[in-house]
Structure 1
């Protein structure tokens, strides 16, 4: 399939990746009125904005459809976290692979000397976090004198994290005539101020409505007595049996405690928080992608920049700070047209605060009771029947073993044993101290 206003080499990459149509934000940034201009883009997480700015900056990267031979970077992408920067690099690598573009990634927690060598060898695109980029800039390893386009991804989050000084130092080192693209899920006053200072005649693009911000996420809220929170987590995991789930906690200590508790109960679980090294984070994410682990317990460090295709359940074990935090956490699921569920576990005394947060985020949520052990047994029964009744290819060796079993056991006993083995692999549901009926 051929896409309009896209260089042939990028068109080929999109087709090879299975793209049949562009998302609203991807279409908007390459429209005629957007070409060559500064942009301020509001788009929900999961809307395909990484590919969007990859397409938007193509005229500045490719010279006549081919990669420029200049050693200094033509494009700079700044992201708030290591995970998001690494994800952006991975996306741009496949998008620009056929064009032969060299991409350098500069993030905290990685080998800085290796990054400097990569920059010295020449890269057309540099992706990094504010602190590490400023470090390379001050050491003379990063030369932005020939930069043609600067992109701030999740700009609102970078300002929330206190990176204004780093961003200003980096942008002040770029040429006056470069394009500046601001991508932000929300547009608070600090973002508007940043746009006025570093952009000229910027085109405002908002695709929040078109991207159906919450359209693919089903929100649920369950109120519990505080001592029941951990039991509620267990029962929610067991009810959904999600291929991949993320549980959000407020602190590193709570991540450690919940991770240990779920591991003891028999869940395949990994942890992500600020205390983990980049290598440990990469290993945890790979375990989730490989399905060696199905549950991730995390602080908000995982709320941005983590893209797990099979993630279908997000549980807010501890409440986010505000409506924006709720959206960013929940936005880890329901991505790229897939359906997802986000569940908030709310202590009774904090119900009013959650109601206010949901109104602020314009989210309609279903208030539900925590699933009981009986609910989970019924769900397990249905899942087990579905699994066992599904058609399978049986090998001769399996048939021979089945025949031998039938010589010593009745079909009913064999079926019961099969069910018992299947159930033994599942963590036990918890009995709630409170039945969830209290208002």
Structure 2
């Protein structure tokens, strides 16, 4: 399949833009059986869907003519879930239909309504807008739908998720019955199919990827971290990959605000996107990303919908998505239009099972790895520096003059060392993370405290308890850094850690117990809901728990974090 069957103006625009062959979804909508029919299309985010429906509309709008007639009432209506996506669609259709003389206008929330009314009054061939704003224009009479030949619903699943069903139904009910209806969606849940049955006629269903097939251009990695190491892990991931563009997803506005401030403080060129920003602030942030003044975008799910950023090679899930569908939507920001992308899930130890279940539901095979270490990041920095120096090309004469002067004053080794130092000073410093390897546990985790005497310095201790245990997937690998961070102590000042079903007990030397308690009061209960309190004097370990041994007909758990199966508590000395 090629672009040869398209009107000349459209084919020439594609050639000028460097399009040689259609993507799979573009090829499908150009087939003879799709001509002049309603389409129900499911395709990956970033697969060229915008250009695909632009191509599908070409014959509907142009027929056999080379150019469109003067603009009057709109001939096509494109409905998108967000302002950013609508404006992006407008830009795409502008160049695609430029040689055909098309006038493409946008009507989106947050913009001047009166200006949009004047623009519509001057005539338009294609109108792109968000559901709420388009409905407003319909009710005011500034959008006249009587001559519409086609309506496109872009990212229909997201529009339903955002609560636009009533707006969509009112808009579609106002359009001519003989119109074409093209519905594009990353997924086709039941509400989408219901909507399609009501408003489409004999729709051709197109799916360019199987429902059980993950995005082939995205490499997934799940990184296990201690709960308190989240920000440090994000810093190290950003530094290790050094992607041209990165998007970090948080669950809340507060999370976005906090992480954005932390990254800016460390020297990252980052912007934030959340629902509390004004339209002017959002536009400024997006423009900074597009012209590469910023390379990192911290966003909530809703704020990031419909955003297509240049060279976005990395997506980081700072907080796990709610479900597999959200995982796919987030991850689909990278790996677009044939480019490769990397998706990182940061998984605190207590949430590993939830993450594994979500990955299975999304049919994603993620590689479980440890977070990048300082040594690994510095090794990558060295590789990138050597590569950048080798690709500098021929030096200008004025640069050679300066180089000769430097060589007269310093040795080549000293100059090279200065270059490296300057290069490193521009980069945010990587962070030290607690070891998260599968066999670590803070040194001697797993030894039974009753089988050996106390180690030096722990002859006189105070016992404390936490309100989590084996049932919460408690493990010394993440409990230890949590205690250090909350209590302002080092890992060498924590004695035995004993994990039971519903609680965990640990000991602190009596000499620093007062300082530890004072630090706990200052830090307060952490975001993960872990409460820490001292045990009454004389209280230490509860009686050893005994459980019946599993018989041949019972499932015997293996490899449970925090200790062996059967009730024998884990210990650390």
Tell me, yes or no, if the aligned pair for 2:226 and 2:436 is still in contact at 8 Å: no
> Deviations along 1:358-394, whole A, 9 cap, x unmatched?
1111111111100111111111122222222334322
CA distance in 2, matches of 1:285, 1:212: 31
Tell me, yes or no, if the aligned pair for 2:71 and 2:103 is still in contact at 8 Å: no
Tell me, yes or no, if the aligned pair for 2:214 and 2:363 is still in contact at 8 Å: no
Uncovered stretches (5+) of structure 2, i.e. residues with no partner? 439-476, 478-560, 562-573
More displaced, 386-395 or 44-53? 386-395
Tell me, yes or no, if the aligned pair for 1:5 and 1:31 is still in contact at 8 Å: no
Tell me, yes or no, if the aligned pair for 1:60 and 1:75 is still in contact at 8 Å: no
Aligned to 2:261: 260
The RMSD of aligned alpha carbons is 1.8
Aligned to 2:56: 56
Tell me, yes or no, if the aligned pair for 1:155 and 1:182 is still in contact at 8 Å: yes
CA distance in 2, matches of 1:177, 1:35: 15
Aligned to 2:236: 235
Shift of 1:283: 2.1
Tell me, yes or no, if the aligned pair for 1:315 and 1:342 is still in contact at 8 Å: yes
CA distance in 2, matches of 1:3, 1:412: 56
CA distance in 2, matches of 1:339, 1:392: 27
Q: Residues 120-139 of structure 1 correspond to what in structure 2 (within 5 A)? A: 120-139=121-140
Aligned to 1:430: 431
CA distance in 1, matches of 2:213, 2:12: 28
CA distance in 1, matches of 2:25, 2:346: 33
Q: Residues 292-331 of structure 1 correspond to what in structure 2 (within 5 A)? A: 292-331=293-332
3-state SS in 2 of match to 1:67: coil
Query: Is residue 251 from structure 1 mapped to residue 241 from structure 2 by the alignment?
Result: no
Tell me, yes or no, if the aligned pair for 1:303 and 1:328 is still in contact at 8 Å: no
Name which one, 1 or 2, has greater alpha-carbon Rg. 2
Aligned to 1:419: 420
CA distance in 1, matches of 2:312, 2:23: 20
Aligned to 1:387: 388
Aligned to 1:13: 13
CA distance in 2, matches of 1:387, 1:211: 41
CA distance in 2, matches of 1:263, 1:14: 40
Q: Residues 5-404 of structure 1 correspond to what in structure 2 (within 5 A)? A: 5-65=5-65, 66-69=67-70, 71-209=72-210, 213-404=214-405
> Deviations along 1:210-236, whole A, 9 cap, x unmatched?
997511110000011111000000000
CA distance in 2, matches of 1:28, 1:277: 39
Tell me, yes or no, if the aligned pair for 1:61 and 1:68 is still in contact at 8 Å: no
Shift of 1:106: 0.5
Tell me, yes or no, if the aligned pair for 1:272 and 1:301 is still in contact at 8 Å: no
CA distance in 2, matches of 1:422, 1:70: 55
3-state SS in 2 of match to 1:68: coil
CA distance in 1, matches of 2:74, 2:212: 32
1:359/1:435 CA distance change after superposition, 3 Å: closer
Aligned to 2:544: none
> Deviations along 1:188-222, whole A, 9 cap, x unmatched?
11111111111111111111149975111100000
CA distance in 2, matches of 1:430, 1:436: 17
3-state SS in 2 of match to 1:384: helix
Shift of 1:304: 2.9
Shift of 1:336: 1.2
1:430/1:124 CA distance change after superposition, 3 Å: same
CA distance in 2, matches of 1:101, 1:290: 27
Shift of 1:244: 1.0
CA distance in 1, matches of 2:329, 2:211: 18
3-state SS in 1 of match to 2:6: coil
More displaced, 100-109 or 391-400? 391-400
When the two structures are superposed, what TM-score results if normalisation uses the length of structure 1? 0.96
CA distance in 1, matches of 2:311, 2:38: 35
3-state SS in 1 of match to 2:182: strand
Tell me, yes or no, if the aligned pair for 1:220 and 1:367 is still in contact at 8 Å: yes
More displaced, 267-276 or 123-132? 267-276
Tell me, yes or no, if the aligned pair for 1:24 and 1:210 is still in contact at 8 Å: no
Tell me, yes or no, if the aligned pair for 1:54 and 1:92 is still in contact at 8 Å: yes
Tell me, yes or no, if the aligned pair for 1:145 and 1:175 is still in contact at 8 Å: yes
Uncovered stretches (5+) of structure 1, i.e. residues with no partner? none
Shift of 1:70: 5.7
CA distance in 2, matches of 1:169, 1:396: 67
When the two structures are superposed, what TM-score results if normalisation uses the length of structure 2? 0.74
Aligned to 2:493: none
Tell me, yes or no, if the aligned pair for 1:224 and 1:436 is still in contact at 8 Å: no
3-state SS in 2 of match to 1:341: strand
CA distance in 2, matches of 1:182, 1:226: 42
